[in-house]
Amino acid sequence: MSEKRLRVVVLISGRGRNLQSLINRAAGDLPAEIVGVISNRPRAAGLARADKAGIPTVVIDHADFESRAGFEAALQAAIDNFEPGLVVLAGFMRKLGDDFVAHYPGRMINIHPSLLPAFRGLDTHERALEAGVKEHGCSVHFVTEKLDGGPIIAQMRVRVEDGDDPEALAARVLTYEHELLPAVVHWFAEGRLRINDGGVEMDGMTLMAPALLEMEAR
Ligand code: GRF
């Protein structure tokens, strides 16, 4: 039975709280197994979370490489060594080159803390507050060569409250991220998701808009 579970490699750079949400869910009903965790930062706190869960970790420190190509070749080798069916970027903070991305067509996803296409890139919570939006949120999308611009699979909306500062908003959005990411991995593991012609196919139908999850949804 266990050999039928989706093999997932998770890439992190920092705290790894999204990683933790996957670890927790993989111990439960998620038909997927996290077979490896890779960090580009040796001190990423998320590495300890993987260790604690008995998941093999690898550090590919970008600072050890003179070129991005060299870093990405090492990263690709480390990922492929785990023979994953899905690669999850969970707070992985390096831009990835076109060749690297093209190596994982339709099998690499990223979680981003905004309602894409709004607020691609960094500092999304600050920028959302500055823009005065009433609704913020998080998105999971397939990774393509366009930064934070691949086909969006699913989103959760989060209300911006009066008095929110970036930290408060980030913390609230993160609780939603912890629902959204395992839910999308679950769908992928069940074979329900596919990338097609720049769009997302779910259960054989092209999504006209990202799937919208509510907090209770799994
Ligand atoms: C999350 O908000 C994720 O969406 C963003 O970076 C943050 C990572 O947090 N890309 P963590 O490492 O999962 O705690």
Q: What are the tens digits of pLDDT across the range 101-139?
A: 999 999 999 999 999 999 999 999 999 999 999 999 999
Asked whether the beta carbons of 38 and 11 are under 8 A apart, the reply is yes
The string of pLDDT tens digits covering residues 79-92 is: 999 999 999 999 99
Which of 62, 103, 112, 136 does the annotation list as catalytic? 112
**How much is the pTM?**
0.96
- For residue 112, indicate whether it is catalytic: yes
Q: Which helix (H) or strand (E) holds 196?
A: strand 193-196
Q: Where are the domains of the chain?
A: 6-213
Residues flanking ligand 1, CB < 6 Å: 12, 14-18, 46, 90-91, 111-113, 174, 177
- The Cα 79–Cα 60 span in angstroms is 10
Q: Which helix (H) or strand (E) holds 145?
A: none
The CATH H-level (homologous superfamily) assignment of domain 6-213 is Formyl transferase, N-terminal domain (3.40.50.170)
Q: Which amino acid appears at position 142 of this protein? A: F
